[in-house]
Amino acid sequence: MDIKNNKLVNYLRESWAEFRHVTWPTKNQAIKLAGIVLGFCFASAFLFSILDYVFNLGYTTLLKLS
């Protein structure tokens, strides 16, 4: 088997060539983006907690009515 015709070797070579074209964010950009992601996660968790509380309150109210 010829190593130049090996599909795995060709895939790895092409992947490495593409990997070198990637523009990586600077440290400050990475910190800002991580802060945005964490902020969104906390905001989503807060929103879902509020919704869970409201739906739970409504559900228990409906159970008490019946």
Supply 45's token pair: 């968790």
Can you tell me which residue has the tokens 């008490």?
A: 64
Can you list the pairs that 37-41 forms with residues at least 24 positions away whose Cβ atoms lie under 8 Å?
A: none
**Position 44, amino acid:** S
Question: What pTM, to 2 d.p., does this model score?
Answer: 0.63
pLDDT band at 6 (very low <50, low <70, confident <90, very high): confident
What per-residue confidence (pLDDT) applies to 2? 64
Give start and end residues of each alpha helix (H) in the chain: 7-19, 27-65
Cβ(25)–Cβ(33) below 8 Å:
yes
pLDDT band at 66 (very low <50, low <70, confident <90, very high): confident
What per-residue confidence (pLDDT) applies to 3? 67
Domain ranges of the chain: 3-65
Question: How far is Cα 4 from Cα 65, in angstroms, rounded to an integer?
Answer: 75
Query: Is residue 1 pLDDT above 60, yes or no?
Result: no
